[in-house]
Chains A and B, each alone.
Chain A
Amino acid sequence: MTTLLLLQQVDPPTPSLLAPDAGLVFWVAVVFGLALFILWKYAWGPITEALDERETRIEDSMQAAEKALEEARKIQADNERARREAEQEGQRILREAREEAERLRNEEIQETRERIATLRDQAQEDIAREKQSALDDLRAEVADLAIEAAERILGEALDQSRHRKLVENMIEELPKN
């Protein structure tokens, strides 16, 4: 009985780690191939595409932001320049207005001065003329008075015109003024 039992006792051979196994290769090929195909279509494809898309968009938006910043800087610079120009323009206008006012004032003064001078000259001329005419009148009056006086004295002996001539000569001999 024991010998029979001993005879029946068998141990399985040590399995080989390198044993070929075509069935397993087949299965793995099918499983891996299927996984590859399905994941290609529904996972890796969309994922890598999405990642690329996202990266492109991020890059684009960063470039756009940079461009916008650049533009903003340019606009700011433009504004600054425009402001400075406007300021200068204002100052120029102010200066010109001031100069114009100055000029006008000077002209006015000049004109007034000239008018005053003219008026003075005219007045002087008038005075001189009046004086002359007054002198002339006076002279005529004096002559008449003298003749009258002489006539009164001499009593109408003398010819009117001869007398006048005589008196006028006398007055001529008188010093002027």
Chain B
Amino acid sequence: MSVTPYRTRLAGVLALALLLFVGSPASVQADSVEGDPDAIGHSANGNYLDLMPIDKVELPRLLLTRHADGLSFDVYGTTKAALESGRYVIMDGEGNVLSEAETQYAINEKKHYNFPLAAASGPGIVIDFSITRHLLAVFLAALLLMIIGLRLGARYRRGIGREEAPRGTWQNMMEVLIIFVRDEIAKPAIGGKYARYMPFLLTAFFFILIGNLLGLIPWGVTATSNLMVTGTLAGFTFVITQVSGTKDYWRHIFNPPGVPAFVKPFLVPAEFIGLFTKPLALAFRLFGNMVSGHLVIVSVIGLIFIFSAQFGAAWGAGSVLVSVPVTLFVWMLKFAISFIQAYVFTILSALFIGMALEEHEHEHHEDEPEPHEALLDQAEEYVPGDGVSTTERPTPQPTV
């Protein structure tokens, strides 16, 4: 394993990352009148931090690669450094390696980090551990969560809130959320054994909430608008659910009682697939909700540039009157959705865990729904038009 020198620039990048969320109001990027709002690029993950109009900052690349000379873990401060080392190349969309001149052009235009990276020789990159912008947002959300959690925990350990009443707005506010998770989510969904799952539910709730809210700040990046992030969180729910599963839970999947034998070949695979669709729905629901708001905001802002390009600067200026209020409205909607989606993810996780814990009486009353099913319906009502929800709505609502 060879580790290439760690660039000093990395320290600068990390310092900048901390500064990332302390900013002035978002400024519209008006680099050119033609404009390229690129809503997708804005929402997608990347190996850079967008601090425009100051600069775009490259992020470090950590690559576990099988080169021609064997497996190595390479660390570069920037994508550019990786390219200049000669061990890596960039490719276009079709997988063709870019020529020397094209690469140079990309570097000059500061586009190189948007190209897929590949090993110059050998079987190629095994796992790309690069610190991407979404990962930085994850780090920041986790860091904030740790600071908030540990400070709050220290207060309770000191006795404030234990022996005496909680003090101050902050502690009271946090307590409201914690008690909400306990009394409105964990207790009704899981039941008696709720206490064991409280730390996971609380961590998930606050992590998602902070992740969602960070995206609303100027220059902020929404960690939860990445399917890999939401998928990993849902993966935790999945693992916890399966580990908690009672004998009854598994029997209901692989040998459902009270079902005619000829139905079982159809039902068992469906139940088995259901194991995975539940966390997948969790992941896609959160991802979809968070990324869509982002796309809408960038698109609406982008309308200004499209109008400018199509009909002239006057039209563009005029469309500001519409675009900015709409953006503000969507922003506020996103603010509400940040809380709602944190709640929905948490309560659905709790419900899945609760279902896995359930000991059935083997007397199914078809007409009366079980309590968790009612709760499930209630939880899914909170989801405005997400594409993953199994319930169809007569009138499609705007996806946010």
The chain A residues found within 8 Å of chain B, CB to CB, are 4, 7-29, 31-36, 38-40, 42-51, 53-54
Q: Are B228 and A24 in contact (CB under 8 A)?
A: yes
Q: Are A46 and B142 in contact (CB under 8 A)?
A: no
Q: List 21 A-B contacts (CB under 8 A).
A: A8-B102, A8-B104, A13-B114, A15-B44, A24-B229, A26-B129, A32-B203, A32-B207, A35-B203, A35-B207, A36-B200, A39-B153, A42-B153, A43-B153, A48-B195, A48-B198, A49-B156, A51-B175, A51-B182, A54-B161, A54-B163
Query: Which residues of the other chain, B, contact A40 by a CB distance below 8 angstroms?
Result: 199, 203
Query: Which residues of the other chain, B, contact A14 by a CB distance below 8 angstroms?
Result: 40-41, 93
**Smallest CB separation, A46 vs chain B (Å):** 5
Known: A10-B102, A50-B162, A51-B161. 5 other contacts (CB 8 A): A8-B102, A12-B93, A35-B149, A36-B199, A51-B182
Q: Are A39 and B202 in contact (CB under 8 A)?
A: yes
Alpha-carbon distance between A11 and B156 when the two chains are bound, in angstroms? 55
Contact flags B60-102 to A (C-beta < 8 A → 1, else 0):
0010100000000000000000000000000011000011011
Query: Which residues of the other chain, A, contact B227 by a CB distance below 8 angstroms?
Result: 17-18
Q: Which of A10, A19, A28, A33 contacts B138 (CB 8 A)?
A: A28
**Smallest CB separation, B265 vs chain A (Å):** 32
Chain B contributes a number of interface residues (CB within 8 A of A) equal to 64
Q: Are B182 and A48 in contact (CB under 8 A)?
A: yes
Alpha-carbon distance between A26 and B62 when the two chains are bound, in angstroms? 12
**Smallest CB separation, A54 vs chain B (Å):** 6
Q: Are B229 and A47 in contact (CB under 8 A)?
A: no
Q: Are A39 and B116 in contact (CB under 8 A)?
A: no
Alpha-carbon distance between A14 and B153 when the two chains are bound, in angstroms? 44
Q: Are B175 and A39 in contact (CB under 8 A)?
A: no
Q: Are A31 and B153 in contact (CB under 8 A)?
A: no
* B127 interfacial by beta-carbon distance below 8 Å: yes
Query: Which residues of the other chain, A, contact B62 by a CB distance below 8 angstroms?
Result: 23
Q: Quick check: which of B19-27, B232-240, B364-372 contacts chain A, the rest being far away? A: B232-240
Interface residues of B in 304-361 (CB under 8 A from A): none
A44 and B198 in contact, given A24-B134, A28-B228 (Cβ under 8 angstroms): yes
Alpha-carbon distance between A38 and B157 when the two chains are bound, in angstroms? 15
Question: In this complex, what residue of B is CB-closest to A34?
Answer: B142
Question: In this complex, what residue of A is CB-closest to B175?
Answer: A51
Q: Are B45 and A10 in contact (CB under 8 A)?
A: no
Alpha-carbon distance between A22 and B64 when the two chains are bound, in angstroms? 11
A12 and B43 in contact, given A24-B229, A43-B152, A53-B162 (Cβ under 8 angstroms): no
